Amino acid sequence: VGTHGDWVVNAPGVEPLHFFLNFDGRMIQVASGPSGAAVTVAGVPIDHTWRPVPVFAEIAFGGARMRITCEEAPQENFAPPPAAE
């Protein structure tokens, strides 16, 4: 996440690659970027170690803020693929 990251955020004080986010299908984790620019989760400074981000926590970096939320995935009926012949 940053001004040149996969998730582009343009705000004062945001570095080209400010921090990293990872979603493992269950939870989001965060680690600071290569510049070591300040990033906090719920006011707690984050370093280069992957840390879980609690639901509804705020990630603050430079002049930007990001809030992590959660919603249920829609229930859909998927048809199985056709059998191979």
Tell me the mean pLDDT per 10 residues along the chain, length 85: 95 97 92 94 96 95 94 70 73
Predicted confidence at residue 83, as pLDDT, reads 76
Contacts of 53 (CB under 8 A, 6+ apart): 27, 28, 29, 30, 41, 59, 68
Predicted confidence at residue 73, as pLDDT, reads 67
For 6, phi then psi, to 5°, come to: -65, -35
Cα 8–Cα 9–Cα 11 angle in degrees, nearest 5:
150
